[in-house]
Amino acid sequence: MKRWPLLLPFLFAVAPTLTLYASNSGQTEFSATLFPMGVSLALTLVLLPLCVVVFRSPLRGAVALSLFWWVAFSYGHAAAVIGKYPVAGHNPANAKVLLPLTCLLLVAGGVLIRRARSEPVLLSRALLVVSVSMLGASLITVARVGASRQPFDRASVVPDEALVAGSVARKPDIFYIIFDRYGSNVTLTRRYGYDNTPMLDHLRARGFYVADDSRANYLVTAQSLASSLNMAHLLPLSEVIGRESEDWLPVFDLLADSRLRRFLADQGYRYVHIGPKWAPTTHSPYADRNVRYSAVPEFTRMLISTTMFYPVLYRLGLDNQDLEKFRRVQYQMDVLAGLPAREPEPLFVFAHFLMPHGPYVFNRDGSYRLPEVANVHDEPTNFVEQVAYLDGRIRALVDSLLASYPADNPPVVVVQGDEGPYPARTQPHSFDWQTATNEELSEKMRILNAIHAPGCDDRFYPSMTPVNTFRILLNCYFGTALEPLPDRSYSYRDQKRLYDYFDVTERVEAGVADGD
């Protein structure tokens, strides 16, 4: 027997990972594939000899294991297609039905391969064509994306200005806390019928300045945070990367190694990073401490969710992403509230919570919102339950942080939304934001923005935006001489044209009046 068929299961073990990477290469580093491919190859190395023994033939064993990998990794994609065609009002892709059928087919196929009179030569050749085609298509896609990727120099975005500390009276601990998709009071009231005034009043009573007319500078998390952390607008990316680009990696690079982080590191700050499961902010290689909850990378979890193993893991609670989020938020909130005041070493804490961003896993009393409960309620109802819980946690968090510091050395605490919630019809990634109404743009761009910075209140104003947050704070506490940037808001066209920016500031403001 020729030895090439023994390579088949190894090809099928890595092809699905590379296929997933190819479809996400504009927002994922290749290094994210190494762990899942390593695990798949290691399992193949163990299983192949066992299959050879069970099927009494190297060729039969290799073919059987190849088919197993192909079916195992294709399960989620097949279920998504099958689920579009209900049978008698029931979902045929329900794991209670589809998974046993899949296992039955695999067993039946294995029996046929083992009992066949002749070796499965033709089948092995067909599988070779399939695996090479999958790998070839993935490599072509990756090469195309790589060829279209423009060289990126972060200096092209960061303003050409001096960032030098002047007279520094004290170096306060700084907490930059992001609540993802937390919109303004106007947005919450109009869309969800929820009034968060009690929470805002609580913050004001604790010395926070609440910028009631604040807007995000950019439409989505990555661009919004890249702008605020670098204290810069991202408009140069339109020319440097190209308006037609769908490459997220330059923005992720700005997120990872921000201008703010560098400045505070030079000032002797210790950096604590608290991130969600979202890969760009899940951890920081520059942090002195990363507060993690799950060690499984986002890309690996995406891959697992497409396999036949996922329903079993979910059932066992090992990869239940809703439950994982519920536990992660509670754990990381508790860690954040318990971070001690550190003297003389100042502390910079960046904390990003996917809250009130879905999935909706909290009831307002803090209990777990079961998926079967969330599924029978509409999105506004689920959102209100989650944001009501979050408001209570924000109040408790703020009280805990402020109580940890002496009156003569209070911390700086910035509580911000990075973007507002998505209006109902704008969810698809292909949505052209130039067609959005003023009211939809207002809903998406108006955000929560509250800052506790004793001695700096006279520098704040109702319409301030995140791009100026740390320009103001660094000027106030470190004596820098940063000029304010225009408080403008920008949207991209769609996710195929990430840097095709257009100014929506006036339309966001008009959207408030349109909704009255």
Whole-angstrom distance, CA of residue 439 vs CA of residue 508: 7
Summarised one tens digit per residue, pLDDT across range 403-415 is: 999 999 999 999 9
The rounded distance, in Å, linking the Cα atoms of 448 and 180 is 10
Contact 246, 150 (CB under 8 A): no
> pLDDT at position 515, please?
59
Q: Which residue has the tokens 């070779």?
A: 128
Distance CA 109, CA 270 (A): 58
Please state, in angstroms and rounded to a whole number, the distance separating the CA atoms of residues 242 and 238.
Answer: 5
pLDDT at 355: 96
Distance CA(196)–CA(179), nearest Å, equals: 14
Ranges under pLDDT 50 in the chain:
none
DSSP 177-234: EEETT-B-HHHHHHHH----HHHHHHHHHTT-EE-TT-B-SBSSHHHHHHHHHHTS--
The pLDDT score that the predictor gives to residue 421 is: 95
Q: How far apart are the first and last CA of the chain?
A: 77
- Give the SS3 label for residue 481: coil
pLDDT for 91: 82
3-state secondary structure string, 132-175? HHHHHHHHHHHHHHHHHCCCCCHHHCCCCCCCCCCCCCCCCCEE
| pLDDT value for 514 | 65
Q: State the Rg of the chain over Cα.
A: 26
- Gap between the Cα atoms of 74 and 54, Å rounded: 24
Residue with tokens 């209006």: 423
Please report the pLDDT score of residue 2 as a whole number. 64
Q: Which residue has the tokens 């960032």?
A: 163
